[in-house]
Amino acid sequence: MDILSPVLAMLVLTLAMIIVLVGSRLPIIIKNFPNLQAGKHSDELRQNIPVGMRNITDNHNHLFEQPVLFYATAFYIHLSGHVDLIHVRCAWAYFGFRVVHSIVQATNNNVATRLIMFMGATLALAVMIVRETIVGLGG
């Protein structure tokens, strides 16, 4: 069973969102190229960025928060040789919830939908961690 494929899928999702982020910013960067140094403090600029662009930035940042725990968990499970069908299904579920979360946040940013996706991803990740902890403790 392959738990690394959902890890690769998460990496592809993150790269895709980086491309969306850069693509959404490129016209502004080109337009303001002579004055880029004025943008060194993102907190000052954030209020002047259109909401849609802020949502993309927020999603990019979110992909470097909880998913880091997913990567560590999946690699730990893989390296310890404890990959099984439940872990793999949870890893794919985690990825699926994060894809929908990213799409929602980068488009209409419906917070209720994002919350459901976040909770689904968190539950899938929690199952992986708890199961691996039980196995690791000899249970």
Domain ranges of the chain: 4-136
Question: Can you give the pTM of this predicted structure?
Answer: 0.89
Q: Which fold has domain 4-136?
A: Four Helix Bundle (Hemerythrin (Met), subunit A) (1.20.120)
3-state SS, residue 64: coil
| Helix residue ranges, H only, the chain | 4-31, 42-46, 51-62, 66-80, 85-106, 111-136
For 47-80, the pLDDT digits (tens) are 667 888 889 989 999 999 999 999 999 999 999 9
Q: Per the structure block, which two tokens stand in for 13?
A: 């999702």
User: Which pLDDT value is given to residue 8?
Assistant: 98
d(CA 33, CA 3): 43
d(CA 75, CA 56): 28
User: Which pLDDT value is given to residue 18?
Assistant: 96
Question: pLDDT band for position 42 (50/70/90)?
Answer: low
